[in-house]
Structure 1
Amino acid sequence: MTGASSSHAAIPQHGLTDRLTRWARGLSSKAEADQDVGESDPQRVRPGSIAHREITRRRKLYEDIGDFLFAHDLDLTPLNFGVAHDYLTGSHIGVEKAVKAVLAERGKITNGWVETVAAEQRTDEVTADALASMLSQVEENLSQFTGLMTESRNSAKDYGAALQEEVKGLSAEGNNEPVLARLVALTRSMVEKTRQVEMQLRNNQKQNLALKSSLETARRAAEHDHLTGLPNRRAFETALRQELELARERNEQLSVAFCDIDHFKQINDLHGHDTGDRVLKFVAGLLSKISNDRCHVARHGGEEFVMLFRGKTAAEACEAVDGVRADLSTRSLVNRTNGERMERVSFSAGVANVLFYDDPRAALKAADRALYLAKEHGRNRVYLAAEAD
């Protein structure tokens, strides 16, 4: 952000920044006007009031977003605006960390990079169109099923009525062959209709089974990381809400840990992305060994994993994570492509007690800060966030 501020100070507002600033002022003026309309108290929005502070905060945020986009020469698109917003507000940890990493490495981001990081953050999501298509097919099949059942019932009623009419024509004595012939024809017709309905029902059942499998696959794709098989960030956030509720109800501890593989970029650069993927899966396997119904492990994105421990203090969770770290640090991994031994693979981690914070997102940030301290102090270690963090 230092670069953004200096650029803005050196260059007069124009173009993108100017448009955003004018837009922010317009919104602020509208908000002030809306507060005043219909209010008899002229001091409703006064300097220092809550409403005024909120207007000022939003105006500052819009200006900061404009400065950020302008400093990096980014187009004014919803995607760029969203990434800038997530980074500046910290509302999306994955985006915030990705932006920090690329700024530390290159000092600048591009339109193409924003598209890439946005795609990476959404690789585990099933598109709304795909789900809508599958659900529409389910509804169509259910509609067909209902129609077949109605048709079958109507055919049976028609057959019964026709049968009764023909039976009336039967006499105790006399030639009944014409009536019997019509009865046989009616019966054959009913048998054929029944056979057709049964065939359509079987086909409908096959389609429903295939759709059920597709929906299950979609559900799994929406909640699991395709590479490691672990739950993804979306599933973790759901687990966090559920476990936090349980912990409060049962008066139990709840701790969270972020784990990040050390020097992962070097692994990819030296050994290739296929080897990097195998390292990710290996680490995921070690972490998942300690998971159970009270310990959730998920891939948070990139080379980072997140763990949730219900019933453990932060110190106890720290000990559990450190056990996995120590196990990994003793392993001697081999590059399967060329058979060469790899440099020692390790991870760093940060742990925080979720219940020390009013907002679970603040606990995640505390664990993330502890992780970065572990990185700064030498890596291959686990740090515990301070209570007053």
Structure 2
Amino acid sequence: MIGAHSSSASPQHGLTDRLARWAKGLSGRTDEPEEVEITARARPGAASSREINRRRQLYADIGDFLFAHDLDLTPTNFSVALDYLTGANIGVEKAIRAVMMERGKITNGWIEALAAEQRADEVTPESLATMLDKVEENLGQFTGLMHESRKSAKDYGAALQEQAKDLASGTDGEPVLARLVGLTRSMVEKTRAVESQLRENQKQTQALRSSLESARRAAEQDHLTGLPNRRAFEGRLRDEVALALSTREPLSIAFCDIDHFKTINDTHGHDTGDRVLKFVAGLLAKVSDDRCHVARHGGEEFVMLFRGKTAAETCEAVDDVREDLAGRSLVNRTNGERMDRVSFSAGVANVLAYDDPRAALKAADRALYLAKEHGRNRVYLAAGPE
């Protein structure tokens, strides 16, 4: 089931007046604040009047959002509100939209949990600093061993040359040979010690390489489904856009969101919900190859990127997976009960139709939202940029 729709959002107003009243209350003034003509007094190189008005409106929108939900004025709340209202983070936008549809309001605690979840798959600065310190330590040890080895070889060569002179002169032959044997034995012992330290250093380097690889996987893989996560997908999107532009191939993106997933969790439990996520991830992953990349974008949402397929062809490919899932009869492994039909909705957009890939992501997300609104279990194609 495929359709095409578009949507838009309306701005909010009001923070400027609130801030003015708040500032007036702090200063004890009772007169109305003066209207400031910023355009006439703007310094050279300052933002234009239009840009200033746009910023003011954004501040007003953020303020209205925070006040409407009775949220504290914290950096985290402000950042989440900014991401939601500007669409800078689609994961945040979808999460807020979902909880507002369900509860009508968000809370400080919910935002803190959302922020923590977004940071969960990140490699922390502390862990990276520890690994880099270890790299530097190993490099320092390796450099020291090389210097020591070179110095030992140089000293041995000089001593050997000196003893060779005595041997050539024919004086004290036996003592010279004994000294040569001693020098050689000492050099062999030093070489063995260096080799042993190098082997130990190599083991530490291999362990460090394994740790770095694990950190990279943790930063780019979803631990539940085994699919790449949002971080990895964003990097892949940049690469695929560049490749599609160079090869002049079409590039399309699809957002897929499992329908009524909260009901699945509430009815059958989170363990079953996790198994449903992994099952859907497996169906989507079956179509992936070097020209189709699938990732878990967060929650019950997946994202697919198709190079070489038009948006219409991508709709058909995603719709085939949708039909496959909707036609299956899944069973709750815990109690053997048959589950209600599990399905997903999807939105598709042509990435190269937009100046910024993030705009294509938003377009696919809007199409997905409309697919949800119009009955779910369907794929909608975004109408394209205005």
Task: Judge same fold: TM > 0.5, yes or no.
Answer: yes
Alignment CA distance shift 1:362-1:172 (3 Å):
closer
| Aligned amino acid, residue 354 of structure 2 | Y
Residue by residue over 1:159-210, the C-alpha shift from the partner in whole angstroms, topping out at 9 and shown as x without a partner, is: 1112222333337767544333333322222111111100110011111111
Cα displacement (A) at 1:13 = 4.4
1:223 and 2:220 are equivalent in the alignment: yes
TM-score, normalised to structure 2's length? 0.86
1:235-384 equivalences in 2 (<5 Å) = 235-384=232-381
Alignment CA distance shift 1:385-1:174 (3 Å):
closer
Cα displacement (A) at 1:315 = 1.2
Residue by residue over 1:222-247, the C-alpha shift from the partner in whole angstroms, topping out at 9 and shown as x without a partner, is: 22211111111122222222222222
Cα displacement (A) at 1:111 = 2.0
| Aligned amino acid, residue 340 of structure 1 | E
CA distance in 1, matches of 2:145, 2:190: 11
Aligned-pair identity (%): 73
Paired residues of 2:363 and 2:384 also in contact (CA < 8 A)? no
Partner of 1:22: none
| Aligned amino acid, residue 288 of structure 1 | A
1:75-154 equivalences in 2 (<5 Å) = 75-154=72-151
CA distance in 1, matches of 2:200, 2:149: 16
Partner of 1:213: 210
Helix, strand or coil: the match of 1:338?
A: coil
Paired residues of 1:8 and 1:67 also in contact (CA < 8 A)? no
Paired residues of 2:16 and 2:59 also in contact (CA < 8 A)? no
Residue by residue over 1:128-185, the C-alpha shift from the partner in whole angstroms, topping out at 9 and shown as x without a partner, is: 2212321221222122112111110110111111222233333776754433333332
CA distance in 2, matches of 1:32, 1:6: 24
1:14 and 2:3 are equivalent in the alignment: no
CA distance in 1, matches of 2:290, 2:40: 51
CA distance in 1, matches of 2:140, 2:39: 49
| Aligned amino acid, residue 181 of structure 1 | A
Cα displacement (A) at 1:30 = 9.6
Cα displacement (A) at 1:323 = 0.5
Helix, strand or coil: the match of 2:255?
A: strand
CA distance in 2, matches of 1:156, 1:82: 61
Alignment CA distance shift 1:12-1:165 (3 Å):
closer
Cα displacement (A) at 1:309 = 1.1
Structure 2 counterpart of 1:203, from 200, 205, 208 = 200
Please identify, of 240-249 and 289-298, the stretch whose mean Cα deviation from structure 2 is larger.
Answer: 240-249
Paired residues of 1:253 and 1:355 also in contact (CA < 8 A)? yes
Residue by residue over 1:110-135, the C-alpha shift from the partner in whole angstroms, topping out at 9 and shown as x without a partner, is: 22211111122232221122123212
Cα displacement (A) at 1:301 = 0.7
CA distance in 2, matches of 1:106, 1:18: 35
Unaligned runs of 5+ in 2: 1-8, 28-32
CA distance in 2, matches of 1:183, 1:388: 84
CA distance in 1, matches of 2:291, 2:320: 17
Unaligned runs of 5+ in 1: 20-24
Alpha carbon RMSD of aligned pairs, Å? 3.1
Paired residues of 1:369 and 1:385 also in contact (CA < 8 A)? yes
CA distance in 2, matches of 1:280, 1:144: 47
Please identify, of 162-171 and 279-288, the stretch whose mean Cα deviation from structure 2 is larger.
Answer: 162-171
Residue by residue over 1:243-290, the C-alpha shift from the partner in whole angstroms, topping out at 9 and shown as x without a partner, is: 222222222221111100011111111222121111111111110111
| Aligned amino acid, residue 91 of structure 1 | A
Cα displacement (A) at 1:9 = 8.6
Q: Which has the higher contact order (CA 8 A, sep 6+)?
A: 2
Paired residues of 2:14 and 2:60 also in contact (CA < 8 A)? no
